[in-house]
Amino acid sequence: MDRLILELKNLRFYFFVPHITMILAGFGVLATLKNSSDLAACASIIQIFVSGFAVWWPILILKEYLHSPGKEVLFVYKSAQDNLIVKMFLLWGLYALHAVVLFIYFSTLFQPVIYLLIATIIQCLFLIALAYVLSLLLQNTFIPLLFNFAYVFTFSMVVYSDLPISIFTRGIPDNPGILNTSVVVLIFAGILFRVGYQREKRLYKNSI
């Protein structure tokens, strides 16, 4: 955990980018509700800004493991607890915590928020898993980041959100029915983490 804190400290200003996007999401939702009270549009804004930036910290931390000079030092002292996959889950947890705080604010604007919160947190997990796999597969962090934003901006828009490859929910998020997609997304996230972990084990062994 101490190492993760130092790794986050190393991000300096970039650490606060997700905070900024979450504040933007707050303003976006507020503006949408003032104009039209369109909860479906609010859900889209939240999914773009909150889910879309879930990969930010994981990608920047993976960058050190893939691109920094002297990264071998990070691998030399490896142990079972030092897996990147554990870091991905911790970062997801940290991000989910931020999302919960934001949703507490949203709960003052509209009700219910719980289903959208659960769906969003699961989307975040999926996107982190995808970024984790792609980064280790491509040995690159820029392409997964681009892919993430392209995917999120394309499929979180209402018009594309009903395509089968979209992980996003559509419509008014006021019933547990919107979590049907989330179950599938959760399963896929698990599969991606499994594949990523296999890559990670090989990363230690042969890819320096």
Partner 1 sequence: MLTVKNLSKSYGRKKVLHSIDLELDKQVYGLLGANGAGKTTLIRCMAGLYEPQQGQVLYHNQPIQKSALFLHDLGYLPQAFGMFQELTLYEMMEYICCLKKIDKSQYGSEIKQALSSVNLEDKKHDRIKTLSGGMIRRSGIAQAIIGFSKVIFLDEPTAGLDPGERARFKNMINTIKKDRTILISTHIVEDVDACCQSVIVIEAGRVLFQGSCDQLKQAAAQKAYQVKAEDSDKIYGEKYILKINEVNGEIYHRVLAKEKQNYPYEENPTLEDGYMCLVKGIA
The residues binding partner 1 (CB under 8 A) are: 2-3, 6-7, 9-12, 64, 68-77, 79, 82, 204-206, 208
Q: Tokens representing 145? A: 């980041």
Least separation in angstroms between CB 201 and partner 1:
11
Q: Which is nearer to partner 1, 69 or 164 (CB)?
A: 69
Rg, C-alpha atoms of the chain: 17
Least separation in angstroms between CB 193 and partner 1:
24
Q: Which is nearer to partner 1, 74 or 109 (CB)?
A: 74
Residue type present at position 183: V
Q: Which is nearer to partner 1, 77 or 164 (CB)?
A: 77
Least separation in angstroms between CB 188 and partner 1:
31
- Rounded to the nearest 10°, the torsion over CA 120, 126, 127, 130 is 180
Q: Nearest-CA neighbor of 173 among 130, 117, 123?
A: 117
* Cα atoms in the 13 Å half-sphere on the side-chain side of 81: 4
Q: Which is nearer to partner 1, 35 or 72 (CB)?
A: 72
Q: Nearest-CA neighbor of 95 among 71, 66, 127?
A: 127
SS3 (DSSP) at 162: coil
Q: Which is nearer to partner 1, 179 or 203 (CB)?
A: 203
Least separation in angstroms between CB 56 and partner 1:
15
Least separation in angstroms between CB 30 and partner 1:
34
